[in-house]
Amino acid sequence: MSTPYPFTAIVGQDDLRLGLLLNAVSPAVGGVLVRGEKGTAKSTAVRALAALMPEVDVVSGCRFSCDPVSPDPACPDGPHEAGSGVSRAARTVELPVGASEDRLVGALDIERALAEGVKAFEPGLLADAHRGILYVDEVNLLHDHLVDLLLDAAAMGASYVEREGVSVRHAARFLLVGTMNPEEGELRPQLLDRFGLTVEVSASRDTDQRVEVVRRRLAYDDDPAGFAARWAQEEGELRERIAAARALLPHVVLGDRALRQIAATCAAFEVDGMRADIVMARTATALAAWAGRTDVLAEDVRQAALLALPHRRRRNPFDAPGLDEDKLDDTLEQNSGEGDGGGDDPDPDGPGGGGPPPQGDGPDTPPQPEAGNGDTPGLPSQGRRADGDEQQPVRAAEPFRTKMLSVPGLGEGAAGRRSRARTEHGRTTGARRPEGALSKLHLAATVQAAAPHQRARGRSGRGLVVRRDDLRQATREGREGNLVLFVVDASGSMAARQRMGAVKGAVLSLLLDAYQRRDKVGLITFRGRGADVALPPTSSVDAAAARLETLPTGGRTPLAAGLLKAHDVLRVERLRDPSRRPLLVVVTDGRATGGPEPVALAARAARLHEAEGTASVVVDCESGVVRLGLAGSLARDLGGTAVTLDELRADSIAGLVRDVQGTNGSNRRAA
């Protein structure tokens, strides 16, 4: 887009604009993560910020944008002599979701490095973004190892490329901005912590504001240059204010009172480590400079907390982001003693960055017992509730740490932490000829391939002569993420004996495990007359937990319908993502009622999954002294394994699903 949308023309989104501007004033703040639904000006604001950034002076011809006043002594294009350079606009570099590691950090020509001893290095996106903006849209969809490399470079201000002892280092200091839609999955807590600030954005519900957004956007689309010209004065004033705040920043004093308030706030909200304290201090200092002051006030500390703490205080993946602002104000008030740095009371009407408080659980009302499953042979008749009768949602029991359930065989899916797979990162298991560009050199195999040809190549004693045909790429084995599809029995038989709370707690525990192992999850429930896809397969484990919390119970047990619905969902997902292997987790007591021959129909549906080699686990929810073992029969039909709720957290089921391959024999599909 030749003419970016003016930053000052963005309607609303105060927190988003403030977070970006603070990083423009002080890149040491550490970047900003923008979380929000689609269509909320996230990308527009980031691209518009680039036009406000001051121009940078660079060494002419340097691919790494060295500062001519103090060039990087380790620059791969150097050494450079200090002197005058050329001015250019600060760059905005976008990292696409599908980028490779070499595209991000750069590529080293291994063949020339081994044969000629030279470091032939092609810079990557980190080098292009040096002294500019690196924008990562959908950062939560990047592979974990790319996010690790990205955030390490942002923290250290440098990028390192190493290939079998040959290394290249170059400066990589940039304003890091990531955007994401939480519905598509969360970042790991360790990665969330590496972003300095976070802001939540959403579309305004105010009619007048929405009208103004549409009016301005249509005007811009009709005449981008003319629209930008109408906002040129506001853009120029904002650009000058950024430059003035940058100049004032070194003179801002962070006094003892503000420091105590920062430390007390981080302690009160139980954030881990010290990074939050440091980021809050830098943010409060930038806020003071942005306001044209040289002292940090309590209102700066308060605003800094609202921007720097929400993504750090989450104790588990299902906690809603945001801060308790009353608690924040109380903490600041209690630590507002006399000091030499600022003293205003916190502004109760100051802008807030926290999200909404977590939604409360459903009423903790025990479900009424279902009157029976008399349609199943051998079961006592207790009467029956009408199909479709619903119970109030039951509160889930406290989640616990589960044993790892994995898919047998060796897959090739997306990087994760569940099942064995061929991956780009992991332990080396062998070598092969590279297909396309060489990524991970297997040095021993390369030397072994080149050694027999040295006499024919006229080796002169100066070293091993290596040619491209000799290069061998390491094959590595790591872990992949899977599609964990939950099929949950929500019928009246589960509500009887008040088991649904324990069942929800178990599923919640498995969801937490799926989050930590970087899986996709889906949720199917069956009750009454059929089965429903409560949540299509998604990377948002939070969404699955929310659907589980409001799950009603009651009615008959259409087990076959649940299994058939799961079969349909898995069929579609195999077409969408063939490399991601599924793990079917059926949570039920194994009973089947309703319709003709419900037990036989459920068995036939289960054998469809067994025939396709779908790894499966049945979580047996049956309780009481007399147990019928129906879940075990279902697991045998599925070609999987049954485990009770108690065994789900016991040491006795370690490697449970890995052993399923022996149960299935040749029917088990291996990737």
**Domain limits of the chain?**
7-67+88-202, 247-334, 420-479, 483-667
Tokens of 99: 């980028």
Mean pLDDT is lowest, of 17-31, 203-217, 298-312, 346-360, for 346-360
Beta bridge partners of 428: 476
Average pLDDT over residues 585-589: 92
53: pLDDT strictly greater than 80: yes
Confidence of residue 355 (pLDDT cuts 50, 70, 90): very low
pLDDT of residue 301: 92
Confidence of residue 294 (pLDDT cuts 50, 70, 90): very high
278: pLDDT strictly greater than 50: yes
**C-beta separation of 85 from 57 below 8 A:** yes
Using alpha carbons, list the distances in angstroms from residue 232 to 173, 479, 659. Answer: 29, 52, 67
Confidence of residue 496 (pLDDT cuts 50, 70, 90): low
Above pLDDT 70, what percent of the chain?
A: 82
Q: What is the biggest distance separating any 2 CA atoms in the chain, rounded to whole angstroms?
A: 93
Average pLDDT over residues 77-90: 82
What stretches of 101-183 adopt beta strand conformation (E)?
106-108, 121-123, 133-137, 158-163, 166-171, 175-180
Do the domains spanning 7-67+88-202 and 247-334 agree at the CATH topology level? no
Average pLDDT over residues 509-514: 85
**Catalytic residue among 241, 275, 314, 649, which?**
275
How would you class 480 by CB atoms within 10 Å of its CB: exposed for 0-12, middle for 13-18, buried for 19 or more?
buried
Confidence of residue 261 (pLDDT cuts 50, 70, 90): very high
Confidence of residue 98 (pLDDT cuts 50, 70, 90): confident
User: Where is pLDDT greater, at 226 or 396?
Assistant: 226
Confidence of residue 629 (pLDDT cuts 50, 70, 90): confident
Buried b (16+ CB within 10 A) or exposed e, 445-468: bbeebbeeeeeeeeeeeeeebbee
Place of tokens 């990162």: 425
Place of tokens 């595209």: 103
Confidence of residue 472 (pLDDT cuts 50, 70, 90): confident
pLDDT of residue 266: 92
Tokens of 429: 């298991």
Across the chain, what does the average pLDDT equal?
79
96: pLDDT strictly greater than 90: no
Confidence of residue 206 (pLDDT cuts 50, 70, 90): confident
288: pLDDT strictly greater than 90: yes
Above pLDDT 90, what percent of the chain?
A: 22
What's the CA dihedral at 451, 456, 458, 460 to 10 degrees?
A: 30
Q: Across 108-117, 348-357, 514-523, which has the greatest mean pLDDT?
A: 514-523
32: pLDDT strictly greater than 70: yes
155: pLDDT strictly greater than 80: no
Alpha helix stretches (DSSP H) within 354-485: 443-450
Average pLDDT over residues 482-501: 80
Average pLDDT over residues 309-319: 73
Architecture of 7-67+88-202 per CATH? 3-Layer(aba) Sandwich (3.40)
Q: Across 16-25, 54-63, 183-192, which has the greatest mean pLDDT?
A: 16-25
Confidence of residue 638 (pLDDT cuts 50, 70, 90): very high
pLDDT of residue 156: 82
pTM over 0.95: no
pLDDT of residue 117: 60
pLDDT of residue 325: 86
Confidence of residue 52 (pLDDT cuts 50, 70, 90): confident
Residue 131 is among the residues annotated as catalytic for this protein: no
- The correct CATH number of 483-667 out of 2.102.10.10, 1.10.3720.10, 3.40.30.10, 3.40.50.410 is 3.40.50.410
282: pLDDT strictly greater than 90: yes
Buried b (16+ CB within 10 A) or exposed e, 192-207: bbbbbbbbbbebeeee
Per DSSP bridges, beta strands 133-137 and 427-432 are unpaired
pLDDT of residue 624: 67
Mean pLDDT is lowest, of 133-137, 478-482, 658-662, for 658-662
Q: Across 187-191, 421-425, 546-550, 574-578, which has the greatest mean pLDDT?
A: 574-578
Confidence of residue 646 (pLDDT cuts 50, 70, 90): confident
pLDDT of residue 653: 37
User: Where is pLDDT greater, at 141 or 110?
Assistant: 141
Architecture of 247-334 per CATH? Orthogonal Bundle (1.10)
Using alpha carbons, list the distances in angstroms from residue 118 to 45, 91, 94, 109, 451. Answer: 42, 30, 30, 9, 21
Angle 213-218-219 from CA coordinates, rounded to 5°: 100
